[in-house]
Amino acid sequence: MKKIYLDYAATTPIDKMVLKAMEPYLKEKYGNTMSLHSFGQEAKIALENSRQVFANAINAKPNEIIFTSSATESNNLAVKGVVFGVPRLKKITSARPHIIISSIEHACVQESAKWLERGFKVTKIPVDKYGVVNPKDIENAIRPETILVSVIHASNEIGTIQNITEIGRICREKKVYFHTDASQSFGKIPIDVKKMNIDLLTASSHKMYGPKGAGILYVREGIKLVPLLHGGGQENGLRSSTVNVPAIVGFAKATELCQLEMNREGKRLINMRDRVIKELLKIKGAYLNGHPFERLPNNINIRFDFIEGESLIMRLDMEGIACSTGSACSSMKLEPSHVLLALGLKPEQAHGSLRISLGRFTTKQEINKLLNILPGIVVELRKLSPYGK
């Protein structure tokens, strides 16, 4: 049985061209970027060329790009690095320094903020039933002691895209730093940090056909960050560690490919996405989670009355189709997703949700098979359920 992968939001396969670009750096070009000899120079050149690719992709300067090991690290560095860098400068009031996040952040932003609660105030901004943050709510939550606002660009679970430009404008006006986690959106929809008023931005390699183990944090020039990792002073002292050149070269290649194909691939995915949504909503007791059109081209999140998500994905898996209930990180947690609850869903509704995420290698045939099989599984699981009879 040929397996069908529809969990591109969890991670993606590496593109062949990316692998090819990485290969020399795994084999003969193995130098350390900090070495002075030719091996080191070669690695350093590859690193700086890669940095330029990211700068071009988001309209930034190369020195504003920091390489990290993952989106989790970038988000930790953004949230903690900014708030640790600022408090001494911002002794305007005696109040505890304050940060604002949305209620649908990825766990790495949410948990970083939670950890900071020992010394900082944290406000979580609610979302509407589509998962949209109202920029006005951010504006109203900003206080004199607010340091940072962090709002995810596009939700990893429900795909909803936020009005980042407007939130950024408000933050700029109020002189508050603005960070956005673009792990799911980078490479899929256009990002311009200048036009969108972004101060810090996170992106991840393995969500866009690059290797695992690479991420970036864009930090606007002039923003003082405190590093999480101290050591040899790589990445301008902001991220000590021997630089993972092969992964970064791969990430850069993946970025080039995504930038090149963004328009066409976006349209192709939106067509498939909307067909899947339309067909699945024909099932009785099926509802779309997230925004009908302000959503990632590849994200589908549907909930079905009276059945539970894990059962659904395991039955699909038995048919060779890989999907997920929500964030892959929470697949073995028992609590319903905080993102779905933030939409106002009841826990039992949140438990019945299915995330289908499409990607570069998704074909029409695969979608046909999904649409053939899924309705039958829903019927069978409902037969087992005590509800809805």
Partner 1 sequence: MENNVYTKKVLKTFKNPHNYGTMKNPDGVGLVGNPTCGDVMKLYIKVGKPASAKASARQGGEVIKDIKFETFGCVAAIATSSIITDMVKGKTIKYAMNITKEGVVEKLGGLPKIKYHCSVLAVDALFKAIKDYESKKK
CA distance 200 to 193: 8
Using the rule CB under 8 A, is 281 a contact of partner 1? no
Helix or strand holding residue 286 (H, E): strand 286-288
Residues 6+ apart with CB under 8 A from 293: none
Which two tokens mark 18? Answer: 């990316």
Which DSSP string corresponds to 117-158?
A: TTTSEEEEE---TTSPPPHHHHHHH--TTEEEEE--SB-TTT
- Closer to partner 1 at the Cβ: 92 or 379? 379
CB of 388 to partner 1, least distance (A): 9
CB of 160 to partner 1, least distance (A): 23
CB of 315 to partner 1, least distance (A): 7
Using the rule CB under 8 A, is 1 a contact of partner 1? no
Among 139, 166, 294, 310, binds partner 1 (CB under 8 A): 310
Provide the mask over 331-370, with x wherever binding to partner 1 is found by CB under 8 A and - wherever it is not: -x-x-x---------xxx--x-------------------
Residues 6+ apart with CB under 8 A from 146: 97, 98, 99, 100, 174, 176
Residues 6+ apart with CB under 8 A from 339: 104, 131, 155, 157, 158, 326, 327
Using the rule CB under 8 A, is 291 a contact of partner 1? no
CB of 216 to partner 1, least distance (A): 29
Using the rule CB under 8 A, is 326 a contact of partner 1? no
Q: Residue 352, Cβ neighbours under 10 Å: how many?
A: 29
Name the one range near partner 1 by CB under 8 A: 209-217, 222-230, 262-270, 306-314: 306-314
Name the one range near partner 1 by CB under 8 A: 34-42, 55-63, 122-130, 305-313: 305-313
CA distance 120 to 125: 16
The sheet with strand 299-304 has its strands ordered as 286-288, 299-304, 353-357
Residue 108 is among the residues annotated as catalytic for this protein: no
Using the rule CB under 8 A, is 95 a contact of partner 1? no
Using the rule CB under 8 A, is 34 a contact of partner 1? no
Name the one range near partner 1 by CB under 8 A: 119-127, 228-236, 294-302, 303-311: 303-311
Among 51, 188, 207, 315, binds partner 1 (CB under 8 A): 315
Helix or strand holding residue 373 (H, E): helix 364-384
* Residue located via tokens 């925004």: 291
Taking the CA of residue 161 as centre, how many other CA atoms within 13 Å lie in the half-sphere pointing to its CB?
Answer: 16
Among 45, 92, 281, 318, binds partner 1 (CB under 8 A): 318
CB of 344 to partner 1, least distance (A): 15
Among 60, 243, 307, 342, binds partner 1 (CB under 8 A): 307
By the 10 Å C-beta count (0-12 exposed, 13-18 middle, 19+ buried), 318 is classed as: exposed
Using the rule CB under 8 A, is 222 a contact of partner 1? no
Which two tokens mark 240? Answer: 């000590």
* Residue located via tokens 């209930």: 325
CB of 123 to partner 1, least distance (A): 26
The number of residues that bind partner 1 (CB under 8 A) is 21
- Closer to partner 1 at the Cβ: 188 or 355? 355
Among 92, 314, 329, 379, binds partner 1 (CB under 8 A): 314
Q: Annotated active-site positions, please?
A: 329
Interface with partner 1 by CB under 8 A: which residues?
Answer: 306-308, 310-311, 314-315, 318, 332, 334, 336, 346-348, 351, 383-387, 389
